[in-house]
Amino acid sequence: MLRSCPVITRAPRRRGRTAAVAVVLAAALLGGSAPVVRSGEIPLALGHRLVDHYEGAPGVARPPAGAGPAQHPYLAPNGRSGMHADGAGSGTHPYPGPLGRDPEVTSEKIAPIGGECATTAFDAGGRLITVCGTFGGFLLKLLDPRSLDTLAEYELPQRPSTVEAITRLDFGRIFKDTSGGAYFYLDDRDRVVLADSRQHVLRIAHHRTADGSWTFAVEDDWDLTPLVPHDCVSWTDPFPGGECDPVTSVMPDWEGRIWWVTRLGRVGTVDPATGALRAIRLDGEEIQNSFSVAEDGVSVVTDHALYAFRAAADGTPRVVWRETYDRGTGTKPGSVNQGSGTTPDLFGSRDAYVAITDNADDRMNVLVYRRGADVPAGERLVCKVPVFRPGASTTDNSLISWGDSLVVENNHGYENPSSLGFGRSVVGGAARIDVRPEGSGCDTVWESDVRSPSTVPKLSTVNGLLYFYEKRPNPLGIDAWYLTAVDFRTGARVFSRFTGTGLAYDNNWAPVTLGPDGTAYVGVFNGIVAVRDTA
């Protein structure tokens, strides 16, 4: 059932805060901080001398045929803007990525415990902008792309799931919480837009000060609490009696409105010019993934259905079409909830398709639909392709899309970093699915045995390599992690470069991100890892 929420109109509240405040707060929680910080490399666990540090051979750049999505007018350039690289969710970067030519690995430890840097974007100067999760709270950070030094830092409010994890001794709540700023985007003016754990949408700029240092400053703060229940767990109220609905993700549409979705099925907009808020409620449905945008509208997947939205004249979200899918009978190991784990991909040589995966019990399926608003009933589904082996298939990461091709990977068996200790891994697997030129169906092009437990993989459209973050079974109980490159055309492994050992190097759902200088970055449990060619 779809319900409208009350209409709220208010002017945007503008305020500024210097990085000094964030530094003071971070120091209290983390034992010391400064505007420019070098924490040191992430420590290696035992066994790193007993595993291969390089496998395979350097690749040869072969750009794949096809085309990616159009540039979104309100996002940073494609490849730089957020978790899925662009507004359409393609998971592709117009940068080369390492070819495996004597690649070096560096890392940065962000916090004594935790510190994972998930979504990474790049400003016009190539600096990393990322949100890193610590037990003290999320930190918005500006990092040097080579040294990984912290140039500026802004502390975001602590998420209720962190308080719940500690007070109720249930740390799984942290690892399956997608709210609080983990999904942010970088806009066309290099500003971060995110929803924090207070149900506020923030627009945050960064700039250099007179003394040469960098700082973050909040330019706009839109309060969603008139539309979103916010009686959330806190240190002062660990057992609230009301409802708490965390905001999962934000993205702009083609007209510049900021759309937002919540875990409990609210879909809303903010008009940046007026501050007007509009929202509807998808009763009984949950949204744990981000969403995608193109010129023809907004695509959202819940744990029940795939939606296409447009905004009405006043900004209220309006359902253009809705398609249910097989959500299975329960949550699989490797899924955040009972439903699709994918952010929708808007793709196709004629920009005509949207793809997700389902949660079917036996074998997960890749689903491709026609996007048009006027598609006749019963003709929207292009194909339904089962992937991976029976009883062991699920994904909680977005597909990669390029031209009429999709790449999907298997997360079955991964729950959190404790899932893979003592040399264990997942069944793994990846597959490429192509839509036939005439749109009559889809075909499986190749399957790979790559074991990428929980990463959002990426494709370099410059060299034709797919990048996965891999962990294989080890009979000695060594937990070794690798950046693995796979040929997009054939599915063959090209090279694997060792990055580290132990829980600190588990990426725990963070993506691989390719930078403008050709470096591959991976957020890991204790911070961030960088892999780049040296030859």
Domains of the chain, each with CATH number or no CATH: 2-532 (2.130.10.10)
Could you tell me if residue 499 is left (phi over 0), alpha (psi between -120 and 50 degrees) or otherwise beta?
Answer: alpha
pTM for this entry? 0.92
| Best CA proximity match to 214, nearest among 361, 449, 18, 60 | 18
For 137, 139, 197, 217, 379, the CA distances from 29, given in Å and listed in that order, are 9, 12, 18, 21, 55
Q: What gap in Å lies between CA 183 and CA 214, rounded to an integer? A: 23
- Whole-number pLDDT of residue 164: 83
pLDDT one-digit tens code per residue, 259-290: 999 999 999 999 999 999 999 999 999 999 99
DSSP readout, 236-269? S-SS-SS-B--EEEEEE-TTSPEEEEETTSEEEE
**pLDDT for the residue 395:** 97
Q: How high is the pLDDT of residue 2?
A: 56
Output the six-digit token pair for 155: 């502390």
CA pair distance 246, 249, nearest whole angstrom: 9
Per-residue pLDDT at 299:
98
Q: With a cut of 70, which residues of the chain have pLDDT below it?
A: 1-39
The secondary structure of residue 64, as a DSSP letter, is P
Q: What is the pLDDT of residue 21?
A: 28
The tens digit of pLDDT for each residue in 39-60 reads 699 999 999 999 999 999 999 9
pLDDT computed for residue 399 by the predictor = 98
**CA 473, CA 459: separation in Å to the nearest integer?**
25
pLDDT at 10: 38
